[in-house]
Amino acid sequence: MKPIDPRKVQETINQNAGKELYVHLETTNGAYASHKNQGFFSVGTFLRNARIKYVQGKITGDGPYRLGLELEGGWAYAEGLTDWEIDDQNQILFAGHDPDGKLAIAFQLSEKPFRK
């Protein structure tokens, strides 16, 4: 993955507006390791292969970034994004890594379903 270039991301988001896409959204703050600290409040999100079609999208911030997609009936957004790539299957992959390099958020878009 490469650091986010907001201009390139915005171009990619604009090119995919109006297409029916699959989304993967996952967040973690260490939920899998928090069992050792009973005082740690763990939260997370996992959404995979939900179909969306967005009207417009926008990337904002100076890094980490926030990406918002305006849907026909609302919004989907992710913040804390630091890196991105378009893989060999034409999937648009965004990730947010904390200062230690650990994954905190993944926000991905694809014209085909993601592997189960």
Q: Supply the CATH number for residue 19's domain.
A: 2.70.180.10
Mean pLDDT, to the nearest integer, of 90-106?
92
Q: What pTM does this model have?
A: 0.88
Report helix, strand and coil shares of the chain as percent, to nearest 5.
Answer: 10, 55, 35
Confirm whether 105 is domain-assigned. Answer: yes
What mean pLDDT is reported for the chain? 91
Number of domains making up the chain: 1
Confirm whether 22 is domain-assigned. Answer: yes
Asked whether the predicted pLDDT for residue 41 surpasses 90, the reply is no
Confirm whether 82 is domain-assigned. Answer: yes
Confirm whether 67 is domain-assigned. Answer: yes
| Contacts with 84 (C-beta within 8 Å, 6 or more apart), sequence order | 1, 2, 4, 9, 92, 93, 94, 95
What pLDDT does residue 76 have? 94
Asked whether the predicted pLDDT for residue 55 surpasses 60, the reply is yes
Confirm whether 12 is domain-assigned. Answer: yes
Q: Which domain holds residue 94?
A: 2-110
In angstroms, rounded to a whole number, what is the distance separating the alpha carbons of residues 36 and 94? 29
- Residue 22 binned pLDDT confidence (cut-offs 50, 70, 90): very high
Confirm whether 35 is domain-assigned. Answer: yes
- Residue 11 binned pLDDT confidence (cut-offs 50, 70, 90): very high
What pLDDT does residue 102 have? 86
Confirm whether 116 is domain-assigned. Answer: no
Mean pLDDT, to the nearest integer, of 65-69?
97
What pLDDT does residue 51 have? 96
Centre a 10 Å sphere on the Cβ of residue 90 and count the other Cβ atoms it contains.
Answer: 11
Q: What is the dihedral of CA 79, 88, 100, 44, to 10 degrees?
A: 50
